[in-house]
Chain A
Amino acid sequence: MKKTHIVLLVLIIGAIAALISLMPKGGADMLSSYETIAGAKEKSGKFVHVVAKLDKTQPIDYDAIKNPNHLSFTAVDSTGGKVKVVYNNAKPDNLEHSERLVMKGKMNGDVFECNEILMKCPSKYTDDPTRIQESMNKNTN
C-alpha cells in the first residue's frame, strides 16, 4: 500500500464519517441494551430490548376484525416485573405458545410500546427432549 492510497483512504473514510454524523440518526446508531422490565421503566422513553414472558393469567387483547394493527398483552420477567405491552401490528400467531419474548421498544407512561417482538418458541427443531417426546408421542402408536 502506497502513501497516496493511505491518504485517499483516510480522506474517504473521514468524509463518510463526517457525512454520517451530519445525517439524522433515526435510531440507527443508538445501540440499545437488554433490560429487565424494571430497567425499562427506569429508562422510560429510551429504546431498549426487554426479555420477558407472556403473562398467561392476563387476557390477550387482539381482534383482527376490529383492528388488525392493535395487540396488547401483559408481560412478566424473571425478576417479577410486570408491564402492559402494546404492539401496533398483527398478533404473532404463536404468541400464546411462546416461552420467551424479546421485545424491542420503549416505555411510554405505564405502557411498553413495542416495535418488534421476537419469539422464542418451543420449536421441535431444537434438541429440547420434552418437545421431541411430544412429537414422538404424536407419531407413535
Chain B
Amino acid sequence: MDYIGEQLVPGKIGHFLIILSFVSSLIAAVAYFISARSNKPVDQESWKRIGRVAFFLDAISVLGVFIILYTLIENHRYEYQYVFKNSGNDLEPKYILSSLWSASEGSFILWTVWHAILGVILIATAKKWEAPVMSVLSFAQVCLATMMLGLHFFNVKIGASPFALFREQMPDLPVFQFADYATRIKDGNGLNMLLQNYWMVIHPPVLFLGFASTVVPFAFAMGGLITKKYGEWVKPALPWALFSACVLGVGIMMGGAWAYESLSFGGYWAWDPVENASLVPWLTLIAGLHTLIIYKSTGRSLQTSFFLIALTFILILYSTFLTRSGILGETSVHSFADLGMNAQLYLFLYVFFWMPAIASSIGLNKKLIAIGASVLFLLLAGLVHPFFALISPIAALVLFLVNMNKIIPSIKKEEAASSREFWMFIGSLVILFSALIITYQTSTPVFNKIFGTNRAPAQDVEFSYNRIQIFIAIIIGLLTAIGQYLKYKETGTQYFFKKIGLPFIISAVAAGLILAFGNINYDKYGLGFLIFIWMAVACAVFAIIANFSYIWIGLKGKLKLAGPSVAHLGFGMMLLGILISSSKKEVLSNNTNGIFVPLEENKITGKVGENYTLLKGVKMDMGKYWVAYEGDSSHPKKSQKYFKIHFTDKESHEDFTLRPNAFIDYKGNEGLSANPDARHYWNYDVFAYITALSDPEKTKDTSAFKSKTIGPGDTIFYTSGYMILDSVLLNPENPRVTFSPKDTAIVAKLTVNTMDGKKLMAWPFFYLRENHLDFVPDTLVAQGLTIQLQKLVDKKFEIGVKESKGVQDFLTLKVYKFPFINLLWLGTLLMAAGLIISMVRRIQINKISG
C-alpha cells in the first residue's frame, strides 16, 4: 500500500545517523587503540587524527539523533511509535524533553549525547592521555549505539530504534489499513503521568550525565593498563572522579526530590531497586575517590583504586541491566518496559566486566587465555546453567585482582594506625562493604532467576536496609568528622587532641541538646535501634561541626582549599537530615477524631488509619489543624485536577493552603495518579496527597445553608425528618471535642429524628479565641445534612442547615510532617559545592605541575 501523509525522511535520516554513529565510534575506538599501543610517534599521531575525525562524526551523529527525535515529538509525528507511545498533544513544551528521555530508547540517546560531549572535552584537554582514554570511551559509544540500532540479523533483533515506524511495529492495528492513517491518528498516548513533573525535566539529564561521566575515570584506569603507565593516570583522572561524584550524587538526590514531590511514596527514598542501583555505583565511586587521594598523597592503595574505579563503571552498567531488562518487575515501581534486549544488555555488561581483567593480563598469551575464559563462561551460562552468569563476573574480578597484585608493586611497610591514609582506607572499605550489602539485597530477583527460587522481598523492606546501614552511618559519620584532623604518614597524639578538642566539645554539647530536647523517640523497632539512631545523630553532628571548624582550625579560612571540608560538612548535614526527617516523620492525618470512624473498626491492625476524608466545604478537625476542602479546579488541557485544601493551626491560627493535584482517568488510564503538595517551613514540611475521590457523577451538589433562628426546645424540619435544639452550652462535655477551661466554645446540642425512626445527635459549635471566630459545623453523612451554629441572637440561636441532594463531594488524603528535610537538600548542595571546589583545585594543580 502507498501510504500518504507520512513524514518518513526525518526517521530515515535519524536511523542513518544511528548507524553512522555506530560505524564512526567503532572506527574511533580502533584508531585510538592502535594509536595508544603504537611506539612510533608518527603512527601515534596519524591514528589519533583518524580517531578524532571519527569521534567528531559520532558526536555530530548522536546530536543529530537527539534533535530529530525532539522535532518529531514537538510536531506530533505519531507515525513513529516512540512518539505515539510517549507523548501527546496536551504536553507543555518543557515536557517534550521529558517525553524524549522517558523510555528506554530515548534515555540511551541522552546517555550517548553526554558521552559525545565529554569525549569532545577530553579531546581538548587530555593531551597524552587522549588516545587510550578515547579508545575506551569510543568503545562505550559503540555499545550504546548497538542499543539503538534496531536492525535484524537472522531473526536476532539488535537494539531498538527510536525511529521505528508504528505501522511496521504493530502492522495488525486496523488503522493501518487506511492509506491516510497518519492523518487519522490525532493524538498520542501521552506521557506517563508520574513523569509530568518539572523534576522529570532536569533530573534525568543530570543523572545520566552522572552515569556517563563515570566512564571517564574508568577509561583513564584502562588507559593506564593499555599504556602500562600504572600510576600516572590518577592525576588527570582525579578531577573527573570528583566531577562524576558531584553530578551523580546530585542526580540521585534530584531523583529523591522527584519521588518526594511527585510520587506518593510518602518520602524521598524507599530503597527501591532502581534507586539502589544508582546509589551503589556512587558509593563505590566515593570509596574510589578516597583511595585515589591516598595514592596521590602517599603512593599507597593504587590496586584498590583500580578496583574501585573499574567496579563503579561496571555497577553503572549493572544498574542499567537491572532497570531495563524487566527483571525487577514485581519489586520496583519504576523500571523501564522490557524491550526484549536482555541478552544484548547482558553482553554489554559482560564485555565491561571482563575488560579490566583482560587489559590487566600482560602478554598476548595471557590476554588470549583471559578472553578465552570470558567466552567459555558466556557459553556455559547460555548453554549449561545460568549459574555461570553469576560465576563469570566473580571470576573476572578475581582475575583482575590477581593481575593487579602482579603488576603493581605494593609498599610492604604497613601504615601507622594514626595516619590519615589508614583511616581513609578503612572508610573506603566500609563504604564498599555497604555497597556490596545493598547490591546483594537488591539483586534478589536476579538470584531468583539464576537459581529458580521464589524469594520475595522482606516484609519490611526499608528496615531490612536501615538496620544495616545505620551502622555504616555511624562509622562513616565518625570517620568523616575526624579524618581531616589526622595527618598523612603519622599524627602526633598531642596535635590531634589539641586541634579536635574544641570541635569535639561543641559537638558533644550540640548533640546532647538535640538528643535531650529534640524528642527523637522513634521506637517502632525497639530501644536498640533507637540508640543506634542517637549514636548516628551524634556522629552526624560531630561531622558537621568538626568539618566546619576545620576550615579555620586546619585551613585558616582559605576556602580555595576547603573543598573536602565543605563536602564532608554537606555529607554530615545530609546524614543528619536523613536521620531526623525519617525518624521524626509524623502522620498528621491520623484518623482519630472518631467522627466517621469508630476506632474499633480498625481492630485488625490495632492502629489508626493514615487516610482522612474531607467533605467539600466543611471544616474538619485533624489533630492540630482545622482542615477544609475548599474547592477544586481543572487543568485547562489535561484531565488533571487541583484541590484547594485550607489548613489552620489550632494553636497559632496560622493558615495556609495546599494544592495537591491528581490526574483522573488520564488518557484511558483508569483511576487517579496523585501529585503531592507541600508547605515548606524552614524546619519542617507539611506534605499532603490525595488517596481517594468521590465519584463526580454522584455528587452534584448545589444546595446552600438555610438559616433559622430558634430557642432551646424548638424544632427545625428538613426533607427527611426534623431536629430539636436541646441546649447551647459553653465548653460542654461532648463526643466530638474535649475542651479545656481556657477554651471558649459555644456548642449546640441537637437531636435529629429521621424519617426512618432513628435518633442521631449533632454538635455544631463555634470557637472564640483571641477575637477569632471558628465555625465548626457537624455533618450527618447518612442524612446528607450539615448543621452549623451561626449566631447568637438575643437569647435565641441561628442554626444553618444544609441538605445535600446526592452524596456529598469528598476527598480522602494523607498528610505527613517531615521535619528538617531542608537539611538534606542543603547538605546535598554543600556536598556538591565541596566536590566542585576540590575539582577546580585539582585542575589548577595539574596545570601548574604540567
Partner-B contacts on A (CB < 8 A):
1-5, 8-9, 12-13, 15-16, 19-20, 22-24, 26-34, 47-49, 62, 64-70, 86, 88-94, 96-97, 102, 104, 108, 111, 113, 115, 118, 121, 123-127, 129, 132-136, 138-141
Tell me how far the C-beta of B408 lies from the nearest C-beta in chain A, rounded to whole angstroms.
Answer: 13
Given contacts A4-B422, A9-B429, A88-B609, contact A65 B781 (CB under 8 A): yes
Rounded to whole angstroms, the CA-CA distance of A134 and B170 in the bound complex is 13
**Quick check: is B426 within 8 A (CB to CB) of the other chain?**
yes
Interface residue? B774 (CB, 8 A): no
Whether B671 is near chain A, meaning CB under 8 Å from some CB there, is yes
Closest 7 pairs (CB-CB, A-B): A69-B609, A94-B671, A27-B459, A90-B691, A93-B671, A28-B464, A68-B611
The 8 Å CB contact of B464, one of A13, A22, A29, is: A29
| A31 and B426 within 8 A (CB) | no
In the bound assembly, the distance between CA atoms of A63 and B172 in angstroms comes to: 43
Contacting pair A9 B426 (CB below 8 A): yes
Residue of A30, A90, A96, A140 touching B175 (CB-CB under 8 A): A140
Chain B residues near A32 (CB-CB < 8 A) = 455-459
- 21 residue pairs of the A-B complex, CB under 8 angstroms, read A4-B415, A4-B417, A12-B426, A19-B528, A20-B467, A23-B528, A26-B526, A29-B467, A32-B455, A32-B456, A65-B808, A67-B591, A67-B602, A93-B671, A93-B693, A94-B671, A97-B670, A123-B669, A126-B337, A139-B188, A140-B175
Residues from 623 to 678 in B contacting A, C-beta threshold 8 Å:
667-672
Contact B810–A65 (Cβ < 8 Å): yes
Complex Cα distance, B185 from A136, in Å, reads 7
Say yes or no: A102 contacts B468, CB within 8 Å: no
CA distance A93 to B121 in the complex (A): 49
Are the CB atoms of A67 and B475 closer together than 8 Å? no
A12 partner, pick from B85, B475, B615, B670, beta carbons under 8 A: B475
A97 CA to B672 CA, complexed, in Å = 12
Nearest residue (CB) in B for A2 is: B414
> Is B700 an interface residue, CB under 8 A from the partner?
no
> Do the beta carbons of A68 and B457 come within 8 Å of each other?
no
Total interface residues on B, CB under 8 Å, equals: 81
> Are A133 and B188 interface neighbours, CB within 8 A?
no
Contact in complex: B468, A16 (CB < 8 Å)? yes
In the assembled complex, the CB of B84 is this many whole angstroms from the nearest CB of chain A, namely 8
Closest residue on chain B to residue A62 by CB atoms: B692
Q: A64-B812, A132-B170 are in contact. Are A28 and B613 (CB under 8 A)?
A: no
Select A33's contact among B414, B456, B610, beta carbons within 8 Å: B456
- CB B278 to nearest CB in A, in angstroms, measures 21
Query: Interface residues of B: mostly helix, strand, loop or mixed?
Result: mixed
Residues of B within 8 A of A (CB): 78, 85, 170, 172-175, 181, 184-190, 192, 304, 330, 333, 337, 414-415, 417, 422, 425-426, 429-430, 433, 444, 454-460, 463-464, 466-468, 471, 475, 524-526, 528-529, 532, 591, 596-597, 601-602, 604-605, 607-613, 615, 667-672, 691-694, 781, 807-808, 810, 812, 814
Residues in chain A near residue B460, CB distance under 8 A? 26-28
With A5-B425, A65-B810, A140-B184 known, 14 other A-B pairs at CB within 8 A are A12-B475, A64-B694, A65-B613, A66-B597, A67-B602, A68-B612, A89-B691, A121-B670, A124-B190, A133-B173, A135-B668, A136-B173, A140-B181, A140-B185
Q: A1-B304, A93-B692 are in contact. Are A16 and B463 (CB under 8 A)?
A: no
B458→A28 contact, CB < 8 A = yes
Q: Are A68 and B691 touching (Cβ within 8 A)?
A: yes
Contacts of A86 in B (CB 8 A): 604
Instruction: Provide the bound-state CA to CA distance between A4 and B667, in Å.
Output: 62
Rounded to whole Å, the gap between the CB of A31 and the closest CB of chain B is 5
Report the minimal beta-carbon distance from B483 to chain A, rounded to whole angstroms.
15
For the complex, what is the distance from the CA of A67 to the CA of B810, rounded to whole Å?
12
Q: With A20-B467, A124-B189 in contact, do A69 and B602 touch (Cβ < 8 Å)?
A: yes
CB contacts (< 8 Å) of B475 on chain A: these are 12
Q: Pick the contact of A97: B174, B529, B671, B810 (CB < 8 A).
A: B671
Tell me if A67 and B596 are in contact (CB < 8 A).
Answer: yes
